[in-house]
Structure 1
Amino acid sequence: MKSKTLVPVCVVAVVLMGLYLIPPAASQSQTTSQPESSRVNASKTVLELGVKGDGITDDSAAIQKLVDASVGSLRFPSGQYRFTKPVVIDLTKVGPTSISGDGTATILMEGAGPAFHFIGTHNGTASPKTVQPVVWEKERTPMIDGIEIVGKHPEAIGVAASKTMQINITRLVVRKALHGIHLYERNRNVSIDNCHLYENEGVGIYLEKLNLHQINISDSHISYNKQGGIVVRESEIRNIQIGNCDIEGNMGQETEPTANILFDISKGSLREGAIFGCTIQHTNDAPDSANVRFIGNGPEDPRKVGNFAIADNSMSDVAVNIHLKHARGITITGNTLWQAYEHNLLVEDSSHIVLGSNLLDRNPDYRAKTKDANVFKDCTDCTLNALNILATRGVPAGLILENCARMNITNCSIRQCQNGGILLSNVKQSRISDCLITEGEKNFAIRVTGGQEIQITDNLVSGSIDVGPGTEVSNTMTVY
């Protein structure tokens, strides 16, 4: 019987080790598929790539050179970076680009225009089928995060964007510039989060001559910008969400009506969106100041601004807390409004407004001489429910309706208003029911002048009910 030849164990071990040390072809391909220069650059900061960041050298050309070289990731460590002209990120040429810092880098913008200007080519909608391949390959999701920009020129802007897809702006600080963030021409799916836009001469977030679908503005502090906090002008906007922000003091040097939040659609349209969970307040010394102001495109077509919810906000300390003009389809619920020097609510030439469960207060801790009026003028088809109105001063009544039609007022509580409870003037086909109005013997609870087809029913009131011809009154209990 022949014996088998045995391979020594040590030889097998050596062979196996050799096989392990030889990289497979697939691994070699993966390793060499990305250029070495790109991999090195991605790990370096701009200081390591030749930028000075000393607050003296003009760094704008050096940064532009890195952008044009398609570095992709520009990381700014601690330092001051002087720019004398905008850094232009032409995405279709340079590819996906992000600008980031850890909050210790300051851009000193000493030239006119935006410190960072993102430019794309997206002409489609928000639908995936309209996005061209070049957008996903070269332009998608430009980002800026963790940077401070300080304006050192009267026309300096923080960040601007045009024709971008899914731009993300986070933890950005812009102050002492003209505008903080400027979006224009066309953008889609914008996200602005955790930003501080503070003490700028113009607007905090400016949407100007813009076609935009889908923008989320959240958890940001937008304050002391002299021409408005969030302003939309001459634009076509759909799906705008503003949530959980502190927005205050954004008025003072405007040459036209503005507000902490202004949608001026006298040209254009704005529909679909919400303002929710925000604190919106100040400035009492601006004569036409407002916290939230919607302006549609005129009495001939008052439907271009609306389909909107204003919910669960706290607003105070301006001439008008909420001002709607030429608007349609807005729900206003769960808000606390007080200290309005002229109007808590001013609604003009608007329709299909639902106003429910809001507190319109006069807290004795706030001693300013405010009127806090609540007025609807030239409105139709509105529902006013569960309002709590307290202590208006220097106006004809706590709730005033003028030249309105098909208005339904129910379940409201109105107290201590200086001259009266509810005043209807030239109103038709409207109803007041199930309200509690306590105004004392000297003031009227409900007064109707002019108008027709008015029903007043099932209210508990103190004070007089004064109605003119053509008014139907039924089941009303008057208590003195």
Structure 2
Amino acid sequence: MELLSRRNALLAGLATTTVVGGLAATASVAHAAPEVTGDGWISVLDHGAVGDGVTDDTAAIQAALTAAAGTGESLLFPAGRVFKVSNELVASGLTDFVILGYAATLMLGGAQPSTNGGKAVLRLTNCHRFKIIGLEVRDSDRTQQYDGIRVSSSSGGVIDGVTVRDVRFNGIVVFDAVPRQSDDIAITNCTTEGTRFGISSNGKDVRIINNHVAMDWPSTAEAQAKGGVWSAPSDYYDGICVWAGADRNIVSGNTITECGQAGVFTQACTNLVVADNTVTGCQLRGIEVDGSNGGTAPSGIAVGVTITGNVVTNCIGHINLVSARDVTVVGNRIENPNSSRAVSCIAINLNTTKTVVVGNYARQAHATFPAIYVTEASTDVTVAWNTVDAAVPHQAPADTVIIRRSGPGQIRTEGKFIAVGGIGVGNSVPATTPGSVVRKIEIFTSTGASLGWIPVYNSIS
């Protein structure tokens, strides 16, 4: 039925660079531009940058970054200027510093060669307790595959109010060759548009909160050239990514629009929260957890995943779990409004186990495809108290417990009902004779053996 995982070949390009972007983000804080007096600040203009959008300011800005590393001062990009660069800028070994760029732009043009995000417009490495605030980064000619902002081997960082447009790899990325070397990074209130991957992470304690990620893929020249059918290679893939090895990442409160592939794509990570995001119009899943790292075997397995409070609509597949364990899918609103699109709202797929799907609203327009689908290869799955508006609400193995409303004041249970330590049942049928049997429930042991039928009585009142 539904595709179990996605493209192995697609991820091969990532494997060469182990792309990831993760930031530990606290609740966003409004940052007012400080009065720049020269005390504690270095302006890129002081090192020869022009900011006219024509002059190549790469060497001047790099000189300013190098000077800041030597003096411990923070760096200012004056507002209203466009600083053209043709190669990567590197901030290395800085601690307790700010890069401030309200209404200023770093524009990549005539770029030196880079493939698969080998270079970034601005790279931070071995930096600690830092902030990047208000800067815009964009690529004017899209000839090379640069990241916008890349963070590695760093900690205690905040990237707030930054905009990245049209770079051909990651917009904002936290990535380490060995996962989790970067930790406590927050990416908040940022915008990425027209990038291959919006925001990515393989770090620890990375918080990706309240950002806007838009690819608007159906409107791109690439979509027109491909006849509206996405295929690799492409300049547009996933909105927010949490890659293999990441731990304690939060993806929350983001709006993610019309991505070339998944809105939120995660691999074999641990302790992940995906909450309160709005995901619309993606060309693959809205939210996908793939613990197999893009393969068909449980090579990594995602452990400890919470997917809650999200709105996911009009994607080619909506919430999909592959090779995941200890997962809760709670309180989401999922809709497939396209009656000709045979995709599920929630799919519990290949080798997923110990999963609870509770309290979601799912609307399925397709007449024959199930809204909630549980594959035979998944185990220990409970589907309970979901509101499902669909011609075919569920498809699941016999040992999947499904509890749902079957009518006013009524519930229906599919799968074995196992009682441990007694049960209590409230009955909706009015009592006519006190003590009369209304219905019976079959009781099973924890091993599945039947203990027989238990009568259920009306109340006396």
TM-score by length of structure 1 reads: 0.66
Determine the structure 1 residue equivalent to 2:135: 147
Determine the structure 1 residue equivalent to 2:123: 117
Question: Measured at CA, do residues 474 and 313 of structure 1 come closer, stay the same or move farther in structure 2, by a change above 3 Å?
Answer: farther
Q: Which of 305, 313, 317 is the equivalent residue of 2:314?
A: 317
- Whether 1:194 and 2:186 are equivalent positions in the alignment is no
- Whether 1:293 and 2:292 are equivalent positions in the alignment is no
Determine the structure 2 residue equivalent to 1:22: none
Instruction: Indicate conservation of the 8 Å contact 1:159/1:180, yes or no.
Output: yes
Separation of aligned partners in 1, 2:402 and 2:43: 63
Further displaced range: 49-58 or 151-160: 151-160
Q: CA deviation at 1:142?
A: 2.3
Larger Cα Rg: Structure 1 or Structure 2? 1
Separation of aligned partners in 1, 2:100 and 2:265: 30
Instruction: Indicate conservation of the 8 Å contact 1:409/1:431, yes or no.
Output: no
1:124-273 to 2 correspondence within 5 Å?
139-152=127-140, 153-178=143-168, 179-185=170-176, 186-200=181-195, 202-207=196-201, 210=202, 212-224=203-215, 226-233=236-243, 235-251=244-260, 258-265=261-268, 270-273=269-272
Q: Which of 38, 43, 46 is the equivalent residue of 2:44?
A: 46
Question: Measured at CA, do residues 473 and 159 of structure 1 come closer, stay the same or move farther in structure 2, by a change above 3 Å?
Answer: farther
RMSD: 3.5
Q: Partner amino acid for 2:125?
A: I
Q: Partner amino acid for 1:260?
A: G
Gaps of at least 5 residues in structure 1 are 1-37, 121-138, 252-257, 416-420, 435-455, 459-469
Deviations 1:365-398 (A, max 9, x none): xx88894631101222122211111123xxxx32
Instruction: Indicate conservation of the 8 Å contact 1:222/1:247, yes or no.
Output: yes
Deviations 1:267-298 (A, max 9, x none): xxx11121111111113xx3xx1011111137
Separation of aligned partners in 1, 2:405 and 2:129: 48
1:316-355 to 2 correspondence within 5 Å?
316-339=313-336, 341=341, 342-348=343-349, 349-355=351-357
Separation of aligned partners in 1, 2:354 and 2:407: 23
Structure 1 or 2: more strand by fraction: 1
Instruction: Indicate conservation of the 8 Å contact 2:182/2:204, yes or no.
Output: yes
**For 1:61, what is the secondary structure of its paired residue?**
helix
Separation of aligned partners in 2, 1:223 and 1:109: 20
**For 2:248, what is the secondary structure of its paired residue?**
strand
Separation of aligned partners in 2, 1:99 and 1:353: 43
Instruction: Indicate conservation of the 8 Å contact 2:345/2:363, yes or no.
Output: no
Gaps of at least 5 residues in structure 2 are 1-35, 218-235, 426-439, 443-449, 457-461
Further displaced range: 212-221 or 111-120: 111-120
Determine the structure 2 residue equivalent to 1:90: 92
Q: CA deviation at 1:45?
A: 3.3
- Whether 1:389 and 2:382 are equivalent positions in the alignment is no
**For 1:69, what is the secondary structure of its paired residue?**
helix
Determine the structure 2 residue equivalent to 1:81: 83
Determine the structure 2 residue equivalent to 1:28: none
Q: Partner amino acid for 2:87?
A: K
Separation of aligned partners in 1, 2:455 and 2:318: 35
Determine the structure 2 residue equivalent to 1:136: none
Instruction: Indicate conservation of the 8 Å contact 1:335/1:359, yes or no.
Output: yes
How many percent of aligned residue pairs carry the same amino acid? Answer: 19
Separation of aligned partners in 2, 1:384 and 1:303: 25
Q: CA deviation at 1:473?
A: 8.9
Question: Measured at CA, do residues 389 and 96 of structure 1 come closer, stay the same or move farther in structure 2, by a change above 3 Å?
Answer: same
Deviations 1:67-93 (A, max 9, x none): 1112531111211110100111111xx
Deviations 1:381-440 (A, max 9, x none): 122211111123xxxx320113x63x322244589xxxxx9998xxx7567999xxxxxx
Q: Partner amino acid for 1:309?
A: T
Question: Measured at CA, do residues 205 and 322 of structure 1 come closer, stay the same or move farther in structure 2, by a change above 3 Å?
Answer: same
Separation of aligned partners in 2, 1:343 and 1:239: 28
Q: Partner amino acid for 1:58?
A: D
Instruction: Indicate conservation of the 8 Å contact 1:171/1:195, yes or no.
Output: yes
Separation of aligned partners in 1, 2:257 and 2:305: 21
Q: Which of 390, 401, 405 is the equivalent residue of 1:408?
A: 401
Separation of aligned partners in 2, 1:163 and 1:360: 41
Instruction: Tell which has more relative contact order, 1 or 2 (C-alpha 8 A, sep 6+).
Output: 2
Separation of aligned partners in 2, 1:369 and 1:148: 46
Separation of aligned partners in 1, 2:336 and 2:370: 7
Instruction: Indicate conservation of the 8 Å contact 2:257/2:263, yes or no.
Output: yes
Separation of aligned partners in 2, 1:303 and 1:259: 19
**For 1:259, what is the secondary structure of its paired residue?**
coil
Instruction: Indicate conservation of the 8 Å contact 1:317/1:338, yes or no.
Output: yes
Further displaced range: 52-61 or 154-163: 154-163
Separation of aligned partners in 2, 1:291 and 1:431: 34
Number of residue pairs aligned between Structure 1 and Structure 2:
352
Instruction: Indicate conservation of the 8 Å contact 2:262/2:285, yes or no.
Output: yes
